[in-house]
Amino acid sequence: MRTRTLEVARVGFLSIFTLVVVVAPFWLLLVNSAKPLGEANELGFGLPRRWNLVENYRAVFEQGHIVAATVNTLLIVVPSIVLICLLASAAAWVFGRRTSRVVNALYLFSISSVLLPPIIITTIYVLQRIGLYGGYAGAILFYVGAFSGLAIFLITGFVRTVPSELEEAARIDGAGPFRTYWSVVLPLLRPVIFTCSVFLFLVIWNDMLYQFFLLGGRGRDTLSLGLYNFAQVRQYQMAWNLVFADVLLVSLPPLILFFLAQRRILSGLTSGAINR
């Protein structure tokens, strides 16, 4: 009886928590994005008295430059994820197979970025000195440096679960280190690389702070920066209906990706959990 009571209490607590933290904000976002300006400014949870759905989203597409901002976002997100996964998987392969003190020290240094946030002022100074500040290449380079530690941490645990006999067989057949990594190791790391890719997509797609300092005001606005600028233009008379519509459009791709890939995400994380 006590166990059943605790289970009911746990389910009830999680249900209330989900309702307050997830369902209620999403419902507020959804219904107010379909209201005219006067109703949306009341920030109510009720259905619109007059639906203004098409007009709101048309205004967001026209004024927020959604298509151009989406292209700008993908130009940063896709190369960043590809470079991070390739470099991190190669480094994780070395860290997972070597056990010397030097390698362990390098591993700890590499994953220190998980706890230590990047210093944006220093980053801007370095990018200015090498001529990459304000462009896509500088932003991509920043994300590679900022999030490779997280990818290395996740992939290294998975590498330790992969049998080393497969690599030894490749070496016996005459494969060098690069050939072994590309043809044997990398295909075996697909589950955890997929997990890292989804996490990185969610983080970089939704990032606004770093993109604001690296790209803001230079004609290369991403979706997050477009949302920020969209709200700032109306700071004295906030058009909540258009802001909520823009938020929903920006948030929809990550939400769809996460829900479609959540099982594979858990599989990639738990595969290397024992040996991490």
**Model's pTM, two decimal places?**
0.84
Residues 132, 92 within the same domain = yes
The first and second tokens of residue 189, run together, are 């790391």
Number of domains in the chain: 2
pLDDT of residue 275: 45
In a domain, 266, yes or no: yes
User: Is residue 259 domain-shared with residue 160, that is, in the same domain?
Assistant: yes
Residues 21, 41 within the same domain: yes
pLDDT digits (tens, 9 = 90+) for 119-134: 888 888 999 899 888 8
Q: Is residue 250 part of a domain?
A: yes
Kindly give the residue spans of alpha helices, DSSP state H, lying in the chain. Answer: 2-18, 24-32, 37-40, 53-64, 66-97, 101-110, 120-129, 136-159, 165-172, 177-180, 186-188, 190-206, 209-215, 223-233, 240-271
One domain, residues 212 and 267? yes
- Same domain, yes or no: 44 and 176: no
Tens digits of per-residue pLDDT, 133-147? 888 999 999 999 999
The reply to whether 107 and 50 lie within a common domain is: no
Do both 212 and 92 map to the same domain? yes
Query: DSSP for 141-203?
Result: HHHHHHHHHHHHHHHHHHHTTS-THHHHHHHHTT--HHHHIIIIIHHHTHHHHHHHHHHHHHH
**What pLDDT does 21 receive?**
83
Residue 207 lies in a domain: yes
Q: Is 101 part of any domain?
A: yes
One domain for residues 137 and 177: yes
Does residue 126 form part of some domain?
yes
Query: At 185, which CATH number?
Result: 1.10.3720.10
User: In this predicted structure, what is the pLDDT of residue 23?
Assistant: 87
The whole-number pLDDT of residue 85 equals: 94
**Can you give the residue range of the structural domain that contains 220?**
63-271
What is the predicted pLDDT for the residue at 273? Answer: 45
Residue at 132 is within a domain: yes
Q: Is 276 among the domain residues?
A: no
For residues 113 and 138, state if they share a domain. yes
User: Do 49 and 109 fall into the same domain?
Assistant: no
- Is position 20 within any domain? yes
| pLDDT for 98 beyond 70 | yes
* Confidence at 1, pLDDT banded by 50, 70, 90: low
141, 209: one domain: yes
Q: How far apart are CA 95 and CA 91, in angstroms?
A: 6
Position 87 scores a pLDDT of 94
Same domain, 53 and 119: no
Say what the pLDDT of residue 265 is: 67
